[in-house]
Amino acid sequence: MSVQTIVPALLALHKIDHDMQEFRSRLAALLKDQVAVENNIVHLRENIAEHESAGRKLQAAISGHELDIASRQERIEKMRQSLNTTKNNREYSAILVQISAEKAEVGKIEKVALELMQQLEANTKSTTEAMAQLEKAQASLADTQKKNSEQVGHVKELISRLEAGRGHALGNVPPDARRQYERIHQKYPGNVMAAAEFDHDDLENVTCGGCYMSLNVEDVNVLRGRDEIRKCNSCGRILYLNEMLNANAVQPT
Ligand SMILES: [Zn+2]
């Protein structure tokens, strides 16, 4: 076996990325419940704001109608008083007709105002309900955060340690290999490299540990003989030999 530098350097980087991917999934799983509750809180707050805005609009409309009713009643009162000073029956009846028309109008407005008041009452009720739900959701969030905080902190710490080590591992990889690696990393995050799997007494059956498709014995020979990248023709992952893991002391956690 010739002196290998590129693939072992990539394996060290890959180990970091693989672990990082795993910790990130673990973190996402831990935060999943929390995120669901947080989203619910956002939704409830929006809901309450909408209700409050609708409540203000209803209140304004009711006040407008009440003012309208008051001014119409004032007008009715004036007309009633003017009945005492009418000069003849015709004038008297004409005023009575106006009064009755105004009263009918007041009746209509009162009906509308009453409907609005009922809407406002329902709106206030659902606002109160939403507020109670919000309070409950906030308590549940605090509970989940408390339960998760230690584990989340631990996993975040592991991730930031890996992030710190990644730069160093990346620095050991030649630029061209780094570019190839990063390209595959976009496609298979944390799963860029695959072992060429085979039995030492059966080199006719070599498969890719990433996609399980067949590889050629030539792939194994190149990996052993040259210090260069060899990729799986099927999935495009960068191949390595299991013996490289042992040879280069890439220790499992
Ligand atoms: Zn493959």
Whole-number Å distance, alpha carbon 236 to ligand 1 midpoint, is 6
Whole-number Å distance, alpha carbon 187 to ligand 1 midpoint, is 13
pLDDT confidence of residue 123: 97
Whole-number Å distance, alpha carbon 193 to ligand 1 midpoint, is 9
Q: Specify which residues 207 forms β-bridges with.
A: 197, 214
Whole-number Å distance, alpha carbon 195 to ligand 1 midpoint, is 9
pLDDT confidence of residue 245: 85
Whole-number Å distance, alpha carbon 219 to ligand 1 midpoint, is 12
Residues with Cβ within 8 Å of residue 90, at least 6 apart in sequence: none
Whole-number Å distance, alpha carbon 181 to ligand 1 midpoint, is 14
Whole-number Å distance, alpha carbon 231 to ligand 1 midpoint, is 8
Rounded to a whole number of angstroms, the distance between the first and last alpha carbons of the chain is: 27
pLDDT confidence of residue 202: 85
**Residue-wise DSSP of 18-52:** HHHHHHHHHHHHHHHHHHHHHHHHHHHHHHHHHHH
Whole-number Å distance, alpha carbon 210 to ligand 1 midpoint, is 5
Whole-number Å distance, alpha carbon 196 to ligand 1 midpoint, is 9
Whole-number Å distance, alpha carbon 69 to ligand 1 midpoint, is 81
Whole-number Å distance, alpha carbon 192 to ligand 1 midpoint, is 10
89-171 vs 6-83: helix crossing angle, rounded to 10: 170
Closest CA to 21 of 194, 251, 189, 250: 189
Whole-number Å distance, alpha carbon 161 to ligand 1 midpoint, is 30
pLDDT confidence of residue 253: 40
Q: Specify which residues 202 forms β-bridges with.
A: 199
CB distance 2 to 227 below 8 Å: yes
CA angle 152, 160, 243 (to 5 degrees): 110
pLDDT confidence of residue 250: 45
Whole-number Å distance, alpha carbon 212 to ligand 1 midpoint, is 6
Low-confidence ranges of the chain (pLDDT < 70): 1-2, 246-253
pLDDT confidence of residue 252: 43
Whole-number Å distance, alpha carbon 121 to ligand 1 midpoint, is 65
Which stretches within 172-239 are classed as H helix? 175-187, 217-225
CB distance 16 to 123 below 8 Å: no
What is the set of domains in the chain, with CATH numbers?
19-169 (1.10.287.1490), 192-247 (no CATH)
CB distance 210 to 204 below 8 Å: no
